[in-house]
Amino acid sequence: MKIRTALIALIIFPVSVFAGDGDYAVNKIPEALLKNADVVKRMEEIRFEVQDIGRSRNYHKYALTILNENGDKYAMEVIGYDKLREIKSMEGSLFDANGRKIKSLKKSEIKDLSATDDISLMDDNRIKVHGFYHRLYPYTVEYETVVQYNCTYFFPPWDPVDNEKIAVMQSAITVVAPADFPVRYKAFNYKEEPAIKSEKGNKTYRWEIKDFESIELEYAYPAWDYLVPMVYLAPAKFEIEKYQGDMSTWQGLGKFIYTLNQGRDKLPENIKQAVHQIADPITDPKEKIAKLYNYMQQNTRYISIQLGIGGLQPFDATYVATRKYGDCKALSNYMYSLLKEAGIKSNYTLVKAGNGKNYFREDFPSDQFNHIILCVPLQKDTVWLECTSQTTPAGYLSGFTSDRPVLLVDEDGGKLVKTPRYGMAQNTQVRKASGQINNEGLLTVKINTRYRAMQQDDLHFLVNGYSHEKQLEYLKRGIDLPHYDVVKFEYKETKSELPVINEILDLTALNYASITGKRLFITPNIISRFSSKLKADETRKYPISLQFEYHDIDTAIIDIPAGYRIEAMPAAVKIESKFGKYSASVDVQPDQIIYYRNIEKFSGQFPPSDYNELVKFYDQLYKADRSRVVLVKKER
């Protein structure tokens, strides 16, 4: 699923582009657009108008033909509003397969709901929702709305292809702005320049596509804007709640954010005293930072608060100190204030967290961010702080915000830098297993696994956020054994800039070794088996994007029952590919099997022509991890 880059939803256009019974008849859809499609977008017209530096309006009209139940989720209209957005109108109609209107939206059917989530203490986000809940396929829904914006900070993107298996007959966006109000744009997979014209003191820009066939996502597909036409839009100068700024450069956007934050770093006297009690006795700057960060973690918690410009501006440090909670903006500003009191300079930092690093455009200054962290530059090092977490160690960012451009903010404005990248040397998993197999094939084994850096990310949240019972459920889902019992498990966490979690696991597995007559078949790789299998494809369209790299090392020592001797054992395996390296070997002693395994998995971007080589590499790993040793009972 692609991730949208705007912070506002697209909204709807009250001009009848075409109407009347029969226009939405399914037989008018070109055959090519029906292939592999769940939905066909029949038409879409967006008109975004900049009225002046502080106001804008969005008109949006579209029609979708839903071909099957997989498309039903797109037939619902959901529009958000808050202090900065006002829904002026919302209309809709339902059409049958022949294009005849069978129902119109009634105002009484529109639900007005809070959009506050479970982690928000307060916000002013609400949504209006409507669905026809029709299930006689195919059918068509048409919606149009008008939304007024009390700002010009946010411009909607044009992304006519919402997801895979959606075909588009026609989609267009028109942007209208005063001639002296520069509109900035960056287009993807759109060969022509926009149609631009001037009239009545305004300048208009228009983009349009027709007859775009649906796409099917492939394994490890690249960023969405590589695949489909889309246009990012942004202003140069803007206004939001009386604050004005210029985002035509990263420096300018940073200056605006710095202005929003000015004067919000004042701490109460008791907190100032606590800072000095903690920091003054310590000479090492990194230790000071870690101690103050730990203080912040122990005395605050994350709660989202989004009210008007509060979606951009943090609550002040005194607010957080008094109430002991805040969102990512408020907590990062609070940590900034603690460090400032201790004489340590830091930078409030905007980041596109999660999968957003695949959708960030460094050459298009604009607010593409969804999260705030803190950067603390030192003379010989830089410490990064995730201020929303009460458990993440100082200096570690996790896969949520690592390896991506971020905007550092200070009094001079903003500048893009990159967060640390955790690669193969950091993302390690070292597993040691020691067990015994009896004459009935029962395996009793103790497994000690050391996860480091991004390899421990999921476990970290599991260990710190879930009960023992939930941890066991998660653990069991990752064990590829037919019949087993977890006798005991334990997690030990070592917090550092490269955190480590040790997992100690005792388990028994019935029929782990299969018995056929006098032979015993044993798979020496107990729980580290590579699970991905792909199908060959000679028609791969898109580049291969492999995001995560890691290094796993396994050793297993298995005591075998007395009275058996080796009959067959797998040869040592060594595989080298542009996608990684793998080796495995088995050493059979009179009473033991000793198994070694080493895998290095690379990240990177690869051309479509490499896909079948990736399929082969995965298949080799899958088979090698399931190779077996055959033991036979000794003759008396």
Distance from C-alpha of 73 to C-alpha of 205, rounded to nearest angstrom: 31
Whether residue 245 lies inside any domain: the answer is no
In 495-548, where do the E strands start and end? 500-509, 514-516, 519-522, 544-546
Domain boundary among 195, 212, 239: 239
Whether residue 2 lies inside any domain: the answer is no
Torsion sign (Cα): 296, 297, 299, 300: positive
pLDDT in tens, 522-557: 999 999 999 999 999 999 999 999 999 999 999 999
Residues 71 and 211 grouped into a single domain: yes
Domain boundary among 211, 239, 267: 239
CATH of the domain at 303: 3.10.620.30
- pLDDT score of 6 more than 70: no
Looking at residue 361, its amino acid is: R
pLDDT band per the 50, 70, 90 thresholds, residue 22: low
Whether residue 61 lies inside any domain: the answer is yes
Residues 455 and 577 grouped into a single domain: yes
Domain boundary among 418, 449, 481: 418
Structural domains counted in the chain:
3
Distance from C-alpha of 218 to C-alpha of 615, rounded to nearest angstrom: 13
Q: What's the whole-number average pLDDT of the chain?
A: 93
568 CB contacts (<8 Å, ≥6 apart)? Answer: 629, 630
- Residue 120: per-residue pLDDT: 43
pLDDT in tens, 282-320: 999 999 999 999 999 999 999 876 665 768 999 999 999
Q: What is the average per-residue pLDDT within 30-43?
A: 98
The strand pairing partners of 564, in sequence order, are 633
- Residue 636: per-residue pLDDT: 66
pTM above 0.85, yes or no: yes
pLDDT band per the 50, 70, 90 thresholds, residue 10: very low
Helix orientation angle between 328-341 and 285-299, rounded to the nearest 10 degrees:
140
Whether residue 9 lies inside any domain: the answer is no
- Residue 309: per-residue pLDDT: 75
pLDDT band per the 50, 70, 90 thresholds, residue 358: confident
Whether residue 227 lies inside any domain: the answer is yes
Residues 54 and 111 grouped into a single domain: yes
Residues 128 and 204 grouped into a single domain: yes
- Residue 482: per-residue pLDDT: 86
Whether residue 611 lies inside any domain: the answer is yes
- Residue 602: per-residue pLDDT: 98
Residues 32 and 75 grouped into a single domain: yes
Q: Are 205 and 194 in contact (CB under 8 A)?
A: yes
- pLDDT score of 17 more than 50: no
279 CB contacts (<8 Å, ≥6 apart)? Answer: 288, 291, 292, 342
Q: What is the average per-residue pLDDT within 449-469?
A: 97
pLDDT band per the 50, 70, 90 thresholds, residue 9: very low
Residues 79 and 125 grouped into a single domain: yes
Residues 445 and 403 grouped into a single domain: no
Helix orientation angle between 285-299 and 269-279, rounded to the nearest 10 degrees:
140
- pLDDT score of 4 more than 90: no
Residues 231 and 330 grouped into a single domain: no
Who wins on pLDDT, 440 or 16?
440
318 CB contacts (<8 Å, ≥6 apart)? Answer: 266, 267, 268
Distance from C-alpha of 190 to C-alpha of 207, rounded to nearest angstrom: 9
Scored b (16 or more CB within 10 A) or e, 253-273 reads bbbbbbebbeebbebeeebbe
pLDDT in tens, 556-581: 999 999 999 999 999 999 999 999 99
Whether residue 15 lies inside any domain: the answer is no
Helix orientation angle between 457-465 and 468-477, rounded to the nearest 10 degrees:
150
Distances (CA, A) of 107 to 89, 92, 111, 130: 10, 10, 9, 9
- Residue 416: per-residue pLDDT: 98
pLDDT in tens, 409-435: 999 999 999 999 999 999 999 999 999
Residues 322 and 233 grouped into a single domain: no
Domain interval for residue 414: 250-418
Angle in degrees, CA 346, 364, 396, rounded to 5:
35
Residues 305 and 407 grouped into a single domain: yes
pLDDT in tens, 223-234: 998 999 999 999
Burial of residue 624, with CB atoms counted within 10 A of its CB: 0-12 exposed, 13-18 middle, 19 or more buried: buried
- Residue 123: per-residue pLDDT: 54
H/E run at residue 87: strand 85-95
CATH of the domain at 140: 2.60.40.3140
Residues 201 and 288 grouped into a single domain: no
Distance from C-alpha of 535 to C-alpha of 182, rounded to nearest angstrom: 49
What is the token pair recorded at 228? 């489909």
pLDDT in tens, 315-345: 999 999 999 999 999 999 999 999 999 999 9
CATH of the domain at 523: 2.60.120.1130
How far is residue 600 CA from its own chain's centroid? 24
- Residue 8: per-residue pLDDT: 32
Residues 149 and 265 grouped into a single domain: no
Q: Are 135 and 66 in contact (CB under 8 A)?
A: no
Q: What is the average per-residue pLDDT within 481-510?
A: 96
pLDDT in tens, 185-220: 999 999 999 999 998 899 999 999 999 999 999 999
Whether residue 1 lies inside any domain: the answer is no
